[in-house]
A and B are shown apart, each in its own frame.
Chain A
Amino acid sequence: MSAAIPRLSGGIPLLGHLLQLRRDPIELMQRCRDECGEVGELRLAGQSLVMLYGEPAQEAFFRATDEQLDQAAAYPFMKPVFGPGVVFDATPEQRKQALRNRSLRDQALRGHAETIARETERMIAGWGGSGSVDLLAFFAELTIYTSSAALIGPEFREELGPELVPLFADLERGTDPLAYVNANLPIASFRKRDRARQQLVAYLQRIFERREAEERQSKDLFQVLRTIKNPDGSARYDVQTITGMFISLMFAGHHTTSTTSSWALLELLRHPEWMQRVTGEVDALYADGRDISYQALREIPQLENCFKETLRLHPPLILLMRKVAQPFQYKDWTVPVGKNVGVSIAVSNRDPGVFRDAERFDPTRYEPGRDEDQHIFAWVPFGAGRHRCVGAAFAMMQVKAIFSILLRRYEFELAQPPESYREDHSKMVVQLAQPCRVRYRRRAELAS
């Protein structure tokens, strides 16, 4: 006999808890845990979402196979972003193939460190001795260049410019939870999303045409995809589909890495003792004049722990979902086919049963002996199990490379009241709310 799943109070007719999800999703998910316990059900328009809390329930969620829990069907807001035929619109088998992206394999990562360092140097080349910068704008542009250079190819990166930044912003802001009602409602954020996607398709089309006109031999992923043929000799992928693949490759690493970089810098500025420690660590590491390399980036544990702590407190994704494809059993509860199950990254990352003094920024919690991130089904900024972020290692290496340069070249300070830096949770893709400015000053000039 199956036990009844507790239902969260406060849902309204038709929309259920959807408006609360748009207003304050973390409050909603925490309230569900407080009220219902390990398992609790809420409603998002016509969909039912059963939330799972605590390490054992989350482990069951993360270990389930694609045949049991379907990832694609649970994210209606992503379909119009990626477009037809790409990742979240593909079969589990096609997705498995897509996941085997060799550019994220360890062997490839070893060459990416220098690429990222070079792109960071280029971005700050015009900074001068002092000034101020909007963190989100800066990191959003930088990560477009780093991701495209590393994952698609350096030649392709050279064809991209700052005009892509607002297009990605519109795609990201197009992830409104109202997609649970209908992903094509006539609202401004969805219209902007669709227009941005069309502009991206046109942008890539121009790159293709330019390359074909110049008869240039390129070896990057972009060109490889373009030259794959069907048995009958026709091109396997059209520009629409390649644009979708490009968006999915870039999207996953874009808002995530740019918000994480922004928050890491803000947390270091809010905790000057940590800023001092990691600056000292980075200075010491490169004191012998060595280059930024894969190996060097492995040897900055304090900076790495600051990123882990930033990710725990400010996870760029706060809710993971799957659609139940075979009845999902946990303890005495059974979630039937057709409902959704979910894990809240934001709630899990602050679970007081796992993290001592969970609200506090404390990078020492990852030091040997405490190892709080070893709770792999509770410390879940990258998810866990078979769908764990495949770009996690790339992302960690990337932020360490970026900060290895920024912290050695410049000093930073907050340019706004500390409490004015905050997350915007109104979309499923979490972003830092703008403005989010900091001031910078070149370190060499300080010394002289």
Chain B
Amino acid sequence: MKIRVDLDLCQGHGVCVEEAPELFALDAATSKVVVLDQNPPESLRKKLAVAVKYCPTRALRIVED
């Protein structure tokens, strides 16, 4: 699976960082999300799904390979 981000939508709320710090960080300069691992392991799927679900701007999506 891959993570797709719509940067027009991201406002840097940081829900994803709280839910899955292994996968997301906030860029210090732009305050927008940075994906740390473009091809996350299956073991992080659950955490990733929570991050996607609760993103307040719906900026994240999971794309299956």
Contact = CB atoms under 8 A, between A and B. Distances in A.
A311 to B, nearest CB: 14
Interface string B1-43: 0000000110111110110000000000001000000000000
Which of A106, A107, A388 has the largest count of B CB atoms less than 10 A from its CB?
Answer: A106
Which of B8, B9, B56 has the largest count of A CB atoms less than 10 A from its CB?
Answer: B56
A264 to B, nearest CB: 19
A393 B56 contact: yes
A370 interface: no
Interface residues of B, number: 14
A107 B24 CA distance: 14
Interface in B34-60: 54, 56-58
B14 A106 contact: yes
Interface string A85-117: 000000000000001100011110010000000
Nearest to B50: A298
A63 B57 contact: no
Interface residues of A, number: 18
Contact of B13 (A63, A105, A374, A385): A105
A271 interface: no
B9 A388 contact: yes
B23 to A, nearest CB: 15
A390 interface: yes
Nearest to B10: A386
Interface in A367-392: 374, 376, 384-386, 388, 390, 392
A163 B18 CA distance: 39
Contact of A392 (B8, B17, B31, B56): B56
A314 B40 CA distance: 41
A104 B13 contact: yes
Contact of B11 (A110, A374, A386): A386
Interface string A114-132: 0000000000000000000
B8 A106 contact: no
B8 A376 contact: no
A100 B12 contact: yes
A393 B9 contact: no
Nearest to B26: A105
A107 B14 contact: yes
Given A100-B31, A388-B9, A393-B15, 10 more contacts: A99-B11, A105-B14, A106-B17, A107-B18, A376-B9, A376-B58, A385-B8, A385-B9, A386-B8, A386-B9
Interface of B: 8-9, 11-15, 17-18, 31, 54, 56-58
12 contacts: A106-B13, A110-B18, A298-B54, A374-B58, A376-B9, A385-B9, A386-B9, A388-B9, A390-B13, A392-B56, A393-B13, A393-B15
